[in-house]
Amino acid sequence: MTMAAPATNSPAAAEPDEMTLVSQARRGDMDAYSSLVRRYQERIYATMYHMTSNHEDANDLAQESFIKAYQALKSFKGDSSFYTWLYRIAVNKAINFIKQRRNRVQLSLNDLDINAEHDPDLVALVSHKTPHRAAALSELQEKLNAAILKLSEQHRAVVVLHDVQGLPHEEIAEIMGCNVGTIRSRLFYARQQLQGLLAEYLDKK
Amino acid sequence: MSENENNFESLRQLLALKKHEVPPPGYFDRFPNRVVNQIQSPNQFTESQRFFLMVPWLFRLLLEMQARPALTGSIATGVFVVLAAGLIIAGRPDSQATGPSNLLAPVSADGSLALSQAMAPADLMTGVSNAADSSPEGLAISTNLSLQPVASMFGHPNSLVQPASFTGN
């Protein structure tokens, strides 16, 4: 799930560019907005999911983010790309949500996709742990999510956006409204914490 | 910073595995329609959302309770104390005269109900039904609702109550 390119959902070649769709959506064209949703839904959902480790919460947050973006579309001045602006709305929503539910510990993990068992990194991690690979995968998934949930919302957002989604530091800084140095230092701290929490798996590599 | 990047290479590889966590199949096919529907009909709430919109204080309370386990514990303790106190008070001897334990009225040997003066109207009807169980054929009860006893908190019999008549065996 590399995130650097603005469109992972491979919009059709004939589909208008982002700014055209935005201006059409601004005039109330719901088909245009639907195209924008289709274009970014996977990344917004993934960000919400990796920050909450819960499908239902991710679904609600992703929907609310797109709805809020539509309602605020008139205030979008085009200083940044629509994609960055949308991300900002979504990440702020997720951070507020996590703050409100800080004490709620709930893990409802999604199923791993069928490619997971063939991922060489994953195989290397779990094959010598136990012959029951499915159970080991599930355990790894739980540990990974539990470790991420232990990070503060700001650190979690940086790790998810950079190490999971693959966004560059500069873009994360723009999304989170702080400078690149802050992002780098948050990332360093978050990784250190994760390294401690996941030492059991990292030692095997 | 590149040295740091190298230090965390294993961790980055591990985190990259999260890409395999995916929503249910078909989820992204339906998602844009759901967003557009919600935008076009913002009042389309789910059953639970509608309920919570009608009772906003309950929604806030639930959120608070989720966020603060200590508050939840305090409320639960409070409810338990109130219930326990209620049970203890109800079980005290001085409350037995009008308490629930007196609901079963005694039935005399000839089949008539022995009503004490202090008995509440509710007691009266319970006694009748109890007597009816013992001799169903000899019991006639008025079904006129206006004559049915009305529960009173003060233990005075209602003037509209007519005693059950027994044709006898």
Residue-range domain boundaries for chain B: 102-166
Shared-domain flag, residues A28 and A93: yes
Q: Which residue type does A30 have?
A: M
pTM of the model: 0.57
Shared-domain flag, residues A49 and A100: yes
Domain boundary among A106, A125, A143: A106
Question: What is the domain count for chain A?
Answer: 2
Question: CA of B68 to nearest chain A CA: how many angstroms apart?
Answer: 7
What pLDDT score does B85 carry? 93
What pLDDT score does A104 carry? 54
In angstroms, the first-to-last Cα distance of chain A is 22
Given a cut of 70, is residue B72 above it in pLDDT? yes
Using CA atoms, how far apart are residues A191 and A26, in angstroms rounded to an integer? Answer: 40
Q: What's the mean pLDDT in A24-46?
A: 93
Beta bridge partners of A141: none
Cβ A195–B11 below 8 Å, yes or no? Answer: yes
What pLDDT score does B131 carry? 44
| A4 in Cβ contact with A167 (< 8 Å) | yes
More confident residue, A171 or B125: A171
Token digits for B150?
């009305």
Q: What is the CATH number of the domain that holds A183?
A: 1.10.10.10
Q: Is residue A112 part of a domain?
A: no
Shared-domain flag, residues A139 and A102: no
| A153 in Cβ contact with A190 (< 8 Å) | no
Q: Is residue A118 part of a domain?
A: no
Instruction: Say if the ipTM goes beyond 0.90.
Output: no
Given a cut of 90, is residue B74 above it in pLDDT? no
Shared-domain flag, residues A25 and A92: yes
Cα A129-A132-A133 angle, rounded to 5 deg: 75
Shared-domain flag, residues A80 and A158: no
Cβ B11–A191 below 8 Å, yes or no? Answer: yes
The parent domain of residue A142 ranges over: 135-205
Among A2, A3, A37, A204, the residue to mutate for chain B (most B Cβ within 10 A): A37
Shared-domain flag, residues A94 and A143: no
Pair type for strands B165-166 and B139-140:
antiparallel
Question: CA of A202 to nearest chain B CA: how many angstroms apart?
Answer: 6
Shared-domain flag, residues A199 and A162: yes
| A77 in Cβ contact with B42 (< 8 Å) | no
Shared-domain flag, residues A20 and A95: yes
Using CA atoms, how far apart are residues B15 and B5, in angstroms rounded to an integer? Answer: 14
Average model confidence (pLDDT) for chain B?
66
What pLDDT score does B154 carry? 52
Q: What's the mean pLDDT in A3-31?
A: 71
Given a cut of 50, is residue B54 above it in pLDDT? yes
| B162 in Cβ contact with B125 (< 8 Å) | no
How many of the other CB atoms lie within 10 Å of CB of B150? 10
Rg (CA), chain B: 33
Cα B45-B49-B53 angle, rounded to 5 deg: 105
Shared-domain flag, residues A80 and A142: no
Shared-domain flag, residues A89 and A23: yes
Handedness of CA A67, A69, A70, A71 (dihedral sign): positive
Q: Is residue A1 part of a domain?
A: no
Q: Please, which contacts does A111-118 make with residues 24 or more away whose CB atoms are closer than 8 Å? A: A111/B21, A111/B22, A111/B24, A112/A137, A112/A138, A112/A141, A112/B20, A112/B21, A112/B22, A113/B20, A113/B21, A113/B22, A115/B20, A116/B17, A116/B20
Given a cut of 70, is residue B147 above it in pLDDT? no
Chain B residues near residue A41 by CB distance under 8 angstroms: 28, 31-32
Q: What is the CATH number of the domain that holds A93?
A: 1.10.1740.10
Chain A residues near residue B66 by CB distance under 8 angstroms: 101, 103-104
